[in-house]
Amino acid sequence: MDETTLSLHFPIRACWMRRGQQKRVPAGSIFRPSYHLIGALHWNSEQVFSQAVERTNSQTFIEFLEYLLVKCFPTQKIVLVMDNAAYHTSQAVLAALSLFEPRVHVFWLPKYCPSLNPIERYWRHLKDVACANKLDSSLEHLANRVTTVIKHQNSPGHDLRISFLKNYV
């Protein structure tokens, strides 16, 4: 599980253009509000569970943990793969995790190794599909497209779904 930030300041990626024509990307405003997501990738089903939050901090992270552990997986034993962000290791978060200790195992990643977290690959895919080379007029429009891409990920067989298992089997 991890967090990502999306904004109206879109990432520019390589893309195809007709020979002799250069793609023009309009510039947005200087003020770029952000859209934050906290998410978890279910390794076996390749589904993404996420929540949009106003900011990422210990409180919103605990709220996501409650969503994940009470609503999504109320009785199952799970393994959480987490990095060492300050709000992941805060006393409040550790206390919240201790409430679920019998059925939750936390696997702490080494510091400064985000590439080891499987959801980082999904965040890259999400930004490539939903944000790259696109200029949105509002965060609401961006959020709608992001929600659609996440729904596609959670629909088996969809063209925009990225598979993690086929790379490791």
- Residues linked to residue 163 through DSSP beta bridges, in sequence order: none
Residue 79 near residue 107, CB atoms below 8 Å = yes
Where residue 49 falls among pLDDT bands split at 50, 70, 90?
A: very high
Q: What local confidence, expressed as pLDDT, does residue 27 receive? A: 60
**Cα–Cα nearest to 24, from 119, 117, 133:** 133
Residue 153 near residue 46, CB atoms below 8 Å = yes
Cα–Cα distance measured from residue 73 to residue 67, given in angstroms and rounded to the nearest whole number: 9
Q: Determine the average pLDDT of the residues in 123-137.
A: 84
Residue 106's φ and ψ, nearest 5 degrees, are -100, 125
Cα–Cα distance measured from residue 150 to residue 28, given in angstroms and rounded to the nearest whole number: 25
Tens digit of each residue's pLDDT (9 = 90 or more) over 71-127: 999 999 999 999 989 999 999 999 999 999 999 999 999 988 888 888 999 999 999
Tens digit of each residue's pLDDT (9 = 90 or more) over 6-40: 877 666 667 677 888 876 666 655 556 788 999 99
Cα–Cα distance measured from residue 107 to residue 123, given in angstroms and rounded to the nearest whole number: 20
Confidence check: pLDDT of 165 > 70: no
Confidence check: pLDDT of 162 > 50: yes
Residue 142 near residue 37, CB atoms below 8 Å = no
Domain residue extents for the chain:
33-167
- For 24, 25, 53, 67, 78, the CA distances from 130, given in Å and listed in that order, are 18, 16, 18, 24, 29
Superfamily holding 33-167: Ribonuclease H-like superfamily/Ribonuclease H (3.30.420.10)
